[in-house]
Amino acid sequence: MGLTGLEIYKQLPKKNCAECGVPTCLAFAMALAGGKASLDSCPYVTAEARANLESASAPPIAKVVVGVGEAAYEMGDETELFRHDKKFYHETAIAIEVKDNEDVVAKAAKIEELKFQRVGLEYKVQFVAVRNTSGDAATFKQAVEKVANVTGKGLVLISECPTAMGQALEVVGGKKPLVYAANKDNYEKMTELAKTHNCPLAVVAEGLQNLADLVDKIVALGHKQLVLDPGSRETAKVIADFTQIRRLAIKKRFRSFGYPVIAFTTEEDPMAEANQAVNYISKYASVIVLKTAERAHLLPLLSWRQNLYTDPQVPIRVEQKLHEVGAVNPNSPVYVTTNFSLTYYSVEGEVEASRIPSYIISVDTDGLSVLTAYADGKFEAEKIGKVMQKLGVEQKVSHRNLVIPGSVAVLKGKLEEATGWNVIVGPREASGIVPFAKANFA
Ligand code: SF4
């Protein structure tokens, strides 16, 4: 929640000198409130007003960046407690753990390959977390160096020993890893290391009160790129702690909790671990450190993350296009559907599974699914006819048969009139496409 224009105006010098580029202080205040101006444009703001305005307009949860260049990943900067209030902004980062006394190169290489395509989007893992399981500083440093040579991803360094952390940061400090963690005993040294290398620092303490106290001590030492760990590991307790932290940060603007949070899975069974992580993604982990690096365990997790972080007011959609599935030829069947991603990719997957090369027209329905688009007048005969003309479908095939979704069978007559094509009513569900295609086009 930012300040209103009038609240900002009260803090401005009221000279109306226009040096900021707008005619009056009030106009400047309104521009600031709308995020269209920077406070730096006014040369007369007092230091006190600047401090007030900057702290009041700071996001309730700070933005913290791990990694540099292409690996840079933003966490936090969230403004909502509930997704339906607006949206969540920065997807939970997934970190896969590598122990410093295992074959770190092999595991890091495996993590590097974890990329998934779904509904036209690429899912991937963000970080590799190197844990100082050996307890030895030199082993940790070597492992961190080897991992950094294999991966282009951001790093999380896990060791509560300042000596080990210091040595590791000597080799990868420039990559801006997340330093895990400062605790009540080591926080001065860890803060110094994080400040020296300009790295984000995780703060761990048992219990929320202790965590808030420790955060305040670290902020007083001059470091504000923090990530919080309330120390709980049992799933229900972690969720309760994260919910409290989020609620206090957003609803009460409690500054000590205004940072991203980190979770660690504890389940040994990989499916149970993935389930645990799904809970943490939902409420409200900014980063989760997992042990499994298996695709089968991670894909549902990443799908859930994508669902949760999609703007609920903007359906995901594909481009309006004549898609070619397989090695099409002039006799290939032509299907038509909408450009809602889930609909389109369900149809595409089934058409592909039929092994009959085909065309699919994805009509732009503003990302609405078939029945919703039909009900809203966005998937009707005349429009489909125009889209077919625009995409030059007639020039691609020698036949004039068009398959429509079974749920809009009612379109058949009008569509035949509008296009002159023979309209075939296809199955109601995408899952019926394979038998339908085999019966009609094999
Ligand atoms: Fe007001 Fe500052 Fe703009 Fe002058 S430069 S009009 S004092 S806001």
Q: How many residues are listed for the chain in this entry?
A: 442
Report how far residue 225's alpha carbon sits from residue 245's, in angstroms, rounded to the nearest whole number.
17
Percent above pLDDT 90 for the chain: 82
- Indicate the range of 116-125, 152-161, 187-196, 260-269 predicted with least confidence: 116-125
58 three-class SS: coil
- One DSSP character per residue, 331-366 reads T--EEEEE-BHHHHHHHHHHHHHHT--EEEEEE-ST
pLDDT of residue 389: 96
pLDDT of residue 50: 87
- Please give the distance, rounded to the nearest whole angstrom, from the Cα atom of residue 106 to the centre of ligand 1: 59
- Please give the distance, rounded to the nearest whole angstrom, from the Cα atom of residue 35 to the centre of ligand 1: 16
Per-residue confidence at 38, pLDDT binned at 50, 70, 90?
confident
Amino acid, res. 5: G
Residue 79 has pLDDT above 90, yes or no: no
- Indicate the range of 58-67, 104-113, 184-193, 401-410 predicted with least confidence: 58-67
Report how far residue 16's alpha carbon sits from residue 27's, in angstroms, rounded to the nearest whole number.
9
Count of H helices and E strands in the chain?
A: 17, 17
- Please give the distance, rounded to the nearest whole angstrom, from the Cα atom of residue 253 to the centre of ligand 1: 29
Ligand 1 contact, 437 CB (< 6 A): no
Per-residue confidence at 57, pLDDT binned at 50, 70, 90?
low
pLDDT of residue 314: 78
In terms of C-beta distances under 8 Å and separation of at least 24 residues, what long-range contacts does 14-20 make, across chains too? 15/44, 17/44, 19/43, 19/44
Residue whose C-alpha is closest to residue 87's, from 315, 346, 333: 315
245 three-class SS: helix
- Pick the atom of ligand 1 nearest to 41's CA: 5
Torsion of CA 398, 400, 406, 407, to 10 degrees: 120
pLDDT of residue 137: 98
Amino acid, res. 378: K
pLDDT in tens, 162-182: 999 999 999 999 999 999 999
- Please give the distance, rounded to the nearest whole angstrom, from the Cα atom of residue 20 to the centre of ligand 1: 5
Ligand 1 contact, 28 CB (< 6 A): yes
372 neighbors 147 (Cβ within 8 angstroms): no
- Pick the atom of ligand 1 nearest to 28's CA: 8
Paired sense of beta strands 401-404 and 422-425, if any: parallel
More confident call, 405 vs 1: 405
54-65 mean pLDDT:
82
Ligand 1 contact, 31 CB (< 6 A): no
pLDDT in tens, 185-226: 999 999 999 999 999 999 999 999 999 999 999 999 999 999
In terms of C-beta distances under 8 Å and separation of at least 24 residues, what long-range contacts does 269-276 make, across chains too? 270/294, 270/297, 271/297, 273/297, 274/298, 274/300, 274/301, 276/235
Residue 1 has pLDDT above 50, yes or no: no
Q: Where are the beta strands (DSSP E) in 79-126?
A: 93-99, 115-118, 121-124
Of 28, 41, 45, best ligand 1 pocket probe by most atoms within 8 Å of the beta carbon: 28
pLDDT of residue 100: 97
Nearest Cα residue to atom 7 of ligand 1: 15
More confident call, 40 vs 340: 340
Burial of 389 (0-12, 13-18, 19+ CB in 10 A): exposed
Per-residue confidence at 430, pLDDT binned at 50, 70, 90?
very high
- Please give the distance, rounded to the nearest whole angstrom, from the Cα atom of residue 306 to the centre of ligand 1: 44
Average pLDDT, the chain: 94
Which two three-digit tokens encode residue 82?
């509930």
- Please give the distance, rounded to the nearest whole angstrom, from the Cα atom of residue 17 to the centre of ligand 1: 5
Look-up of token digits 């050996």:
134
Which two three-digit tokens encode residue 124?
């991937």
For the chain, the straight-line distance linking the first and the last C-alpha, in angstroms and rounded, comes to 59
Ligand 1 contact, 1 CB (< 6 A): no
Residue whose C-alpha is closest to residue 231's, from 207, 213, 248, 209: 207
- Please give the distance, rounded to the nearest whole angstrom, from the Cα atom of residue 36 to the centre of ligand 1: 15
Nearest Cα residue to atom 3 of ligand 1: 20
Ligand 1 contact, 37 CB (< 6 A): no
Report how far residue 302's alpha carbon sits from residue 310's, in angstroms, rounded to the nearest whole number.
12
Paired sense of beta strands 121-124 and 127-131, if any: unpaired
Burial of 329 (0-12, 13-18, 19+ CB in 10 A): exposed
- Please give the distance, rounded to the nearest whole angstrom, from the Cα atom of residue 4 to the centre of ligand 1: 17
Per-residue confidence at 316, pLDDT binned at 50, 70, 90?
confident
Of 14, 22, 25, best ligand 1 pocket probe by most atoms within 8 Å of the beta carbon: 25
- Indicate the range of 48-57, 147-156, 335-344 predicted with least confidence: 48-57
351 neighbors 437 (Cβ within 8 angstroms): yes
Residue whose C-alpha is closest to residue 334's, from 409, 384, 407: 384
Q: Sign of dihedral through CA atoms 162, 163, 167, 170?
A: positive
- Indicate the range of 58-62, 304-308, 356-360, 417-421 predicted with least confidence: 58-62
Percent above pLDDT 70 for the chain: 99
367 neighbors 315 (Cβ within 8 angstroms): yes
Could you give the C-alpha distances from 105 to 76, 102, 151, 156, 294, in angstroms and in order? Answer: 30, 9, 9, 16, 16
What string of H, E and C letters represents the secondary structure of 391-403? CCHHHHCCCCEEE
Q: For the CA atoms of the chain, what is the radius of gyration?
A: 27
- Please give the distance, rounded to the nearest whole angstrom, from the Cα atom of residue 19 to the centre of ligand 1: 6
